Amino acid sequence: MNALGKHLLLELNDCDCELLNDISSIRDIMICAATEAGATILGESFHQFNPKGVSGVLIIAESHLTIHTWPEYYYAAADIFTCGTTVSPEKAAEVIIDRMNPRTHSVVLVHRGMVRVEQKITG
């Protein structure tokens, strides 16, 4: 069995609430994470909520990176889903954790698309 992709789920606790509400900084962090991981960015969408919070997505050729922030709880959740072997989702997670600087965090790895090689349709 081979996994078609890796999906990292990040829980970022006790982050700076001003950072969590700064759409420009959140966007920069996510773009830096994708770039450092070796991903090819195809598109993006980031939204500033009123009164606070940011959600964002980067569409990458290898899948996606997303983030959702709750400044009032000093919390952010990020997902990094990559397919293939050319991108390092672990590097993207490292960048996000480093730049978000949570007091505590966790990372869960989910292997997606567990398939047998002989299942692949050719031609």
**Catalytic residue positions, numbered:** 63, 68, 83
Bridge partners of residue 59, in order along the sequence = 43, 64
Which amino acid would we find at residue 8? Answer: L
Bridge partners of residue 83, in order along the sequence = 5
DSSP secondary structure string, 78-99? EEEEEESSS--HHHHHHHHHHH
Cα–Cα distance, 43 to 26 (Å, whole number)? 15
Give the H or E element holding residue 34: helix 23-37
51 cis-preceded (ω within 30 degrees of 0):
yes
